[in-house]
């Protein structure tokens, strides 16, 4: 019988009385410690000795020294600098012109003109009732601006700060349009893509709750859950499919009953992550299988307006809705930084343990760079009586969902996670985010700290900053909305030494627990292999009869995409260079280069067959197009939004040709027939006489006398 990690920790944890006694002591000196830290912080501030200011000051002095050495060359390099600035300015102007041509120019409404309640947006009663049931009555800025445009069927590229309600910004207009869908032939009309399973499950939960008073059906297609059950749901052709790219492509290639041919609305949540190199192949495969005439909406807190990335989504004059700066954080977020000196990197566990034991005791997410670190700190927290759950890729999907549920319900106080939980996860009441390791990119930092200070509430982000993180620290300070948001937290050395001793004393227990876990894992894997072999013997015929599941990539392509994804997340910079080099390899100039003569002949024969079957394919496409169901209605005018179920506007009447045009047509046809007669040398007149006699015969009843 296998025991859980919590049971293993419980065997080695201290008695409850000793734990309570230590906590009482720590609670008693917490105010004093904080006062000391504040005094030390004030003293440093008076002396200009902020750690972040130290870094900047040191850099400035170094740069000034270098400038002093090279001051003699300034006059010579001045003109070159001016030329470089002109080139940069010209490039920026050219890029701005490209964006102006690519994006649709929509006038930004005044703040006073935006709707203040969902009831004033002319939404249907079932949708408003669902929103009211969840406690939503007033739209956020991104919702007030995006919903009318989405109802009109426009493509949208939207960005707003984390926690601003982007999910409802695209889900409300989708549900509103689906209420007036043609119901004679049920088909899947909406596809929502997310980069992680947890985000897809959360989006599915929100959509289901808002649509609870409608007849709209919603299905989930994500990895880690039962494939057969999801496939059965998709066979029913739900109105909305919420999926992750991998599982969706699996169904496209291996499920005959599922297709994307009827998709009319494609939504990508956290779109900037999905537009990166790691998702490029999967995204291209999905977009290729959707109709070109679809409506596309992209949303993210750090959304890009890079045309080179957006152009592969086949957007049609999209509207830019950037409510906040791409580098902005919430106005109510306080960002604190703790300096970790190079010689004290091993103190990170002690710093984290001190913070979570003394100051941030509940509703706290801790982000780690690796799964191993998150698991080790889970053991350490358990040994010191701190209730924590872990969330990372080494867990099964059920374990990951259970960890989120425990944290959401308050059964645990800490969620120890990797960047798996950094995007989109919305848990009400999160007070603190701690970065045990600072992420490699500012964008990832924004998503991490965006788990708190959401929907107008306050929050705090605490980051442990080492020497290698100075560049990111400068970016955070530069993009802060106010100086009051940035603070420097100091942990007194006495407190740090105390918790460092605790960590040192727990190392033997941590090793023993991890070793026991490893042994159980190996035993479990051996049992699984044995069960698999037994099943192969007992059910060989049935297993071998199953069709092999196909994938659109080769193993090499999948490995390259995996490496590119790791590089995008900043896990290994050398990997991205290798992936880019693989993509930049010289390709054959012609499709037949490197082929044998036999393969070339076969290729030419295949091309001839394709040309011969062209007309048949065109006829099949025409028949397929005519069999498609009626499309969703759109709001034609921003002011006229009484409903989407009204009749379609009457078709334009054909212009009736007048007398003059008839004359012109007659003259034209007469002249052309005359030319034809002349060209055929009188044959035309003979044919006309024969036709005339034939008509006379028909009038006479077709009888010859």
Span 301-310, average pLDDT: 82
Structural domain spans, the chain: 111-322, 333-509
Q: Are strands 414-417 and 240-243 parallel, antiparallel or unpaired?
A: unpaired
- pLDDT at site 686: 56
pLDDT band at 237 (very low <50, low <70, confident <90, very high): very high
Span 245-250, average pLDDT: 94
Percentages of the chain per state (helix, strand, coil), in multiples of 5:
55, 10, 35
* Extended beta strands in 72-164, E state: 156-159
- pLDDT at site 80: 57
pLDDT tens for 340-396 read 999 999 999 999 999 999 999 999 999 999 999 999 999 999 999 999 999 999 999
| pTM for this prediction | 0.72
- Per mean pLDDT, which of 153-157, 314-318, 550-554 is the most reliable? 153-157
Q: Locate 248 and state its tokens.
A: 């969706």
Q: Locate 554 and state its tokens.
A: 């080769």
CA 285 to chain centre: 16
Residues paired with residue 190 on neighbouring β-strands, in sequence order: 240, 265
Buried b (16+ CB within 10 A) or exposed e, 273-300: bbbbbbbbbbbebbbebbeeebbbbbbb
Q: How far apart are CA 414 and CA 320, in angstroms?
A: 38
- DSSP states of 164-181: S-HHHHHHHHHHHHHTTS
pLDDT band at 39 (very low <50, low <70, confident <90, very high): very low
Span 28-52, average pLDDT: 40
pLDDT tens for 43-67 read 444 443 333 334 343 343 333 344 4
- pLDDT at site 81: 58
- pLDDT at site 503: 96
Span 317-329, average pLDDT: 85
Asked if the model's pLDDT at residue 432 lies above 80, the reply is yes
What is the H or E stretch that residue 579 is in?
helix 573-583
pLDDT band at 553 (very low <50, low <70, confident <90, very high): confident
Q: Locate 464 and state its tokens.
A: 């442990």
* CA nearest to 176, candidates 237, 265, 241: 265
- pLDDT at site 352: 97
Dihedral (Cα; 120, 123, 126, 131), 10-degree rounding: -60
Degrees, nearest 5: CA angle 63-66-68: 110
Same topology, domains 111-322 and 333-509? Answer is: yes
Fold of 111-322: Rossmann fold (3.40.50)
Helix/strand/coil for 368: coil
Asked if the model's pLDDT at residue 305 lies above 90, the reply is no
Phi-psi region of 458 (alpha: psi -120 to 50; beta: other; left: phi over 0): beta
Q: How far apart are CA 464 and CA 336, in angstroms?
A: 9
Q: Are strands 414-417 and 388-391 parallel, antiparallel or unpaired?
A: parallel
Contacts of 319 (CB under 8 A, 6+ apart): 103, 104, 106, 149, 154, 155, 156, 157
Residue 634 · residue 153 · CB < 8 Å: yes
- pLDDT at site 648: 52
Fold of 333-509: Rossmann fold (3.40.50)
- Residue 398 CA: distances (Å) to CA of 141, 199, 203, 226, 391: 36, 14, 17, 11, 11
Asked if the model's pLDDT at residue 469 lies above 50, the reply is yes
Q: Are strands 240-243 and 218-221 parallel, antiparallel or unpaired?
A: parallel
- pLDDT at site 662: 45
- pLDDT at site 45: 40
Q: Locate 19 and state its tokens.
A: 């734990």
Q: How far apart are CA 30 and CA 37, in angstroms?
A: 10
Helices 493-538 and 5-12: crossing angle in degrees, nearest 10, is 140
- How high does pLDDT run on average in the chain? 80
Residue 355 · residue 462 · CB < 8 Å: yes
Place of tokens 């997410």: 365
pLDDT band at 86 (very low <50, low <70, confident <90, very high): confident
Span 427-449, average pLDDT: 94
- pLDDT at site 485: 83
Asked if the model's pLDDT at residue 185 lies above 60, the reply is yes
pLDDT tens for 98-115 read 888 889 888 788 777 899
pLDDT tens for 621-677 read 777 777 777 788 887 665 555 556 555 555 555 554 443 444 444 444 444 444 444
pLDDT tens for 126-147 read 999 999 999 999 999 999 999 9
Helix/strand/coil for 437: coil
Which one has a higher pLDDT value, 311 or 30? 311
Percent of the chain with pLDDT over 70: 75
């Amino acid at each position: 019988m296998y025991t859980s990690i919590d049971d293993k920790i419980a065997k080695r944890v201290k008695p409850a009385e000793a734990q309570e006694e230590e906590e009482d002591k720590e609670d008693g000196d917490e105010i004093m410690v904080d006062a000391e830290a504040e005094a030390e912080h004030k003293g440093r501030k008076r002396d200009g000795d902020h750690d972040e200011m130290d870094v900047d000051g040191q850099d400035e002095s170094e740069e000034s020294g270098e400038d002093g050495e090279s001051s003699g060359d300034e006059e010579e390099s001045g003109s070159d600098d001016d030329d470089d600035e002109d080139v940069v300015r010209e490039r920026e102007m050219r890029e701005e012109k490209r964006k102006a041509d690519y994006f649709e120019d929509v006038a930004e409404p005044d703040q006073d003109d935006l709707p203040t309640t969902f009831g004033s947006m002319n939404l249907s009663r079932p949708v408003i009732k669902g929103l009211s049931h969840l406690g939503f009555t007033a739209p956020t800025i991104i919702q007030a601006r995006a919903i009318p445009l989405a109802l009109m069927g426009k493509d949208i590229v939207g960005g707003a700060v984390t926690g601003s309600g982007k999910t409802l910004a695209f889900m409300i207009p989708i549900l509103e349009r689906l209420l007036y869908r043609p119901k004679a032939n049920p088909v899947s009309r909406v596809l929502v893509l997310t980069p992680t399973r947890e985000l897809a499950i959360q989006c599915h939960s929100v959509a289901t709750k808002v649509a609870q008073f409608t007849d709209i059906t919603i299905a989930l297609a994500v990895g880690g859950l039962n494939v057969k059950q999801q496939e059965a749901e998709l066979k029913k052709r739900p109105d909305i499919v919420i999926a992750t790219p991998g599982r969706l492509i699996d169904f496209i290639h291996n499920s005959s009953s599922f297709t994307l041919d009827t998709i009319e609305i494609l939504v990508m949540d956290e779109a900037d992550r999905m537009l990166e190199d790691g998702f490029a192949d999967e995204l291209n495969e999905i977009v290729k299988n959707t109709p070109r005439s679809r409506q596309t909406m992209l949303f993210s807190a750090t959304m890009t307006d890079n045309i080179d990335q957006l152009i592969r989504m086949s957007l049609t004059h999209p509207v830019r809705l950037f409510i906040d700066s791409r580098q902005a954080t919430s106005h109510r977020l306080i960002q604190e930084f703790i300096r970790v000196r190079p010689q004290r990197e091993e103190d990170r566990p002690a710093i984290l343990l001190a913070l979570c034991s003394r100051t941030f005791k509940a509703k706290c997410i801790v982000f780690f760079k690796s799964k191993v670190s998150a698991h080790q700190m889970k053991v350490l927290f358990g040994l010191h009586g701190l209730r924590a759950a872990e969330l990372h890729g080494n867990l099964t999907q059920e374990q990951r969902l259970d960890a989120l549920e425990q944290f959401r319900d308050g059964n645990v106080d800490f969620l120890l996670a990797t960047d798996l939980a950094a995007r989109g996860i919305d848990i009400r009441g999160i007070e603190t985010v701690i970065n045990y390791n600072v992420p490699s990119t500012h964008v990832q930092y924004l998503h991490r700290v965006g788990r708190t200070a959401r929907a107008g509430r306050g929050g705090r982000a605490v980051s442990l900053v080492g020497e290698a993180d100075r560049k990111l620290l400068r970016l955070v300070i530069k993009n802060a909305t106010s100086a009051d948001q940035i603070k420097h937290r100091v942990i007194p050395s006495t407190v740090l030494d105390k918790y460092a001793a605790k960590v040192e004393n727990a190392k033997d227990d941590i090793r023993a627990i991890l070793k026991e876990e490893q042994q159980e894992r190996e035993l479990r894997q051996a049992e699984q292999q044995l069960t698999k072999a037994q099943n192969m013997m007992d059910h060989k015929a049935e297993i071998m009869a199953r069709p092999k599941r196909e994938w659109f990539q080769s193993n090499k392509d999948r490995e390259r995409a995996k490496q590119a994804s790791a590089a995008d997340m900043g896990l290994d910079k050398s990997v991205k260079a290798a992936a880019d080099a693989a993509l930049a390899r010289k390709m054959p100039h012609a499709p037949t280069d490197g082929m044998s003569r036999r393969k070339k002949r076969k290729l030419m024969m295949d091309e001839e067959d394709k040309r011969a079957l062209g007309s048949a394919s065109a006829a099949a496409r025409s028949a397929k197009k005519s069999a498609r169901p009626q499309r969703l209605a759109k709001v034609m005018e921003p002011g006229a939004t009484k409903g989407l179920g009204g009749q379609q506007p009457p078709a334009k009447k054909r212009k009736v040709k007048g007398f003059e045009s008839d004359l012109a047509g007659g003259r034209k046809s007469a002249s052309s027939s005359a030319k034809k007669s002349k060209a055929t040398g009188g044959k035309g007149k003979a044919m006309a006489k024969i036709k005339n006699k034939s008509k006379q015969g028909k009038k006479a009843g077709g009888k010859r006398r």
